[in-house]
Copies of this chain bind each other. A is one copy, B any other.
Amino acid sequence: MKKQFAQQLFAAHAQASSSVPRSAICQFMDNTLQLLFPELAEQKFNSEKDILLHLDLLEQDLIKILTGMPLPQHLVPALLAKNFITQLPFIYDLLLKDAEAIASEDPAAQNIDEVIRTYPGFLAIAIHRLAHALHQLQVPLLPRILSEAAHTKTGIDIHPGAKIGSYFCIDHGTGIVIGETTVIGNHVKIYQGVTLGAMSVAKEMARIKRHPTIEDYVVIYAGATILGGNTVVGSNSIIGGNVWLTESVPPYSRLYHKAQIRVSRSEDPEDSIVFSI
């Protein structure tokens, strides 16, 4: 029995492709964030030249990671890495806008420094924008490992394929799920527990848009669930907490539960009345 099990396991181990260097990947992500944001840096950079050097170093590290992975033939590690580094200034620019959006939206935030240093929403979007750039370059597996690392740290699960506009603001964020083909406009704000998901679909639909589109200036409150590839939330809409939405709504919509809630006012818990609020 045990011997047979060992055979089975060994067969699985023997045919496994060359392992993806998970710790090197996490180090790469961490180094990138430390270079971009002094609030997260563990070392001082001395000069512009020192920064340039570490940008080059990131590029080399990425080449090494990609070289160790099973890539499709048409993808060349050195070209992918160069391309990624070239995008960093744009990503950095987007992230500063995200931090601004959070700082200006959350009354509890004292300043942008505090946002960058302590907001899980900022960390999640920062890692997402890095992972998304790699996803756009068709790099396999690596973007997903990055997004899962962000998920573990922040409880925020953004598929690297999701397209997210500028000034994106996540408050708190635990439990947020944003699916692979989601499209989000600019100045969107999302609270904890929001799902931008797919209807349960057949595997064959993997290549079509399965997740919703959120237009500019939309706010989605905690626990709302918005599903479906054809679902469009029009610009300037507000989606209330715990709303369950599977159809499009036009711009300037305000959706919230007109909930029936039962309330008891008496001190005898058995004696309850029902009314709406």
A residues bordering B, Cβ < 8 Å?
Answer: 1-10, 12-13, 16-17, 19-20, 35-39, 41-53, 55-57, 60, 63-64, 67, 78, 85-86, 88-89, 92, 104-105, 107-108, 110, 113-114, 117-120, 140-141, 144-145, 147-148, 151-155, 157, 159, 161, 172, 174-175, 177, 179-180, 189, 191-193, 195, 197-198, 200-203, 205-206, 210, 219, 221-223, 225, 227, 236, 238, 240-245, 247, 249-269, 272, 274, 277
Protomer copies = 6
Known: A174-B174, A175-B193, A256-B262; 7 extra A-B contacts, CB below 8 A, are A5-B55, A5-B88, A6-B51, A47-B63, A119-B148, A152-B153, A257-B260
Q: Once bound together, how far apart are the Cα atoms of A258 and B273, in whole Å?
A: 12
A193 touches B223 (CB 8 A): yes
Q: Once bound together, how far apart are the Cα atoms of A55 and B223, in whole Å?
A: 43
Q: Once bound together, how far apart are the Cα atoms of A260 and B258, in whole Å?
A: 5
A261 touches B243 (CB 8 A): yes
Shortest Cβ distance from A99 into chain B, in angstroms?
A: 12
Q: A55-B6, A110-B140, A267-B252 are in contact. Are A49 and B60 (CB under 8 A)?
A: yes
Q: Once bound together, how far apart are the Cα atoms of A46 and B62, in whole Å?
A: 11
Q: A13-B38, A242-B242 are in contact. Are A53 and B48 (CB under 8 A)?
A: no
B108 touches A9 (CB 8 A): no
A89 touches B174 (CB 8 A): no
A253 touches B265 (CB 8 A): yes
Shortest Cβ distance from A6 into chain B, in angstroms?
A: 4
Shortest Cβ distance from A118 into chain B, in angstroms?
A: 5
Q: Which residues of B contact A192 (CB under 8 A)?
A: 157, 175, 177, 195
Q: Which residues of B contact A256 (CB under 8 A)?
A: 244, 261-262
Q: Which residues of B contact A7 (CB under 8 A)?
A: 48
Q: A141-B117, A155-B155 are in contact. Are A48 and B174 (CB under 8 A)?
A: no
Shortest Cβ distance from A119 into chain B, in angstroms?
A: 8
Set B67, B161, B244: member contacting A46, Cβ < 8 A? B67
Q: Once bound together, how far apart are the Cα atoms of A64 and B267, in whole Å?
A: 52
Q: Which residues of B contact A45 (CB under 8 A)?
A: 9-10, 13
Q: Which residues of B contact A197 (CB under 8 A)?
A: 191, 222
Q: Once bound together, how far apart are the Cα atoms of A157 and B225, in whole Å?
A: 21
Q: Which residues of B contact A92 (CB under 8 A)?
A: 5, 8-9
Set B89, B198, B241, B272: member contacting A254, Cβ < 8 A? B272
Q: Which residues of B contact A277 (CB under 8 A)?
A: 245, 247
Q: Once bound together, how far apart are the Cα atoms of A242 and B197, in whole Å?
A: 14
Q: Which residues of B contact A43 (CB under 8 A)?
A: 64
